[in-house]
Amino acid sequence: MSKDIQDIVQIANSLSNNDLANLITMLGDRLDVYVGQLGRHQISSPVKDACMNGAVVQINLELTELDDISDDAQAIYADFQRCMVRAGHDQAISVLDECFRDHLIDQNEEVRV
């Protein structure tokens, strides 16, 4: 193990969990967390902050400010629509537009397709 890595390990081991939470909060704008996948879209989120939750450090993501991950459905759909146009699938888009509008209306959301 290199000297630099050993120094980092020593610093990490010297931090309390509270110190670690504070450090993560300070560095949050440099961090992004992969959450998972929604269809063919990979979901990630910047770190909002970190805090203590019992004896462990809890990392809070900006994504958690959404009421529901489907709040971002219109952005995902717009990306999908652009890909379909590039691929020349205009007819498929008109069918998807209808389904997407129905989905949004079912959720009592404003339709902005």
Return d(Cα 113, Cα 100) in angstroms, integer. Answer: 8
- Summarize the confidence of residues 42-53 as an average pLDDT: 90
Q: Strand order in 41-53's β-sheet?
A: 32-38, 41-53, 56-61
Q: How confident is the model at residue 15 (pLDDT cuts 50, 70, 90)?
A: very high
Please indicate, yes or no, whether the overall pTM of this predicted structure exceeds 0.85: no
Report residue 29 as tokens: 């704008």
Report the C-alpha gap between 42 and 33 in whole angstroms.
Answer: 11
Residue whose structure tokens are 């909002």 = 48
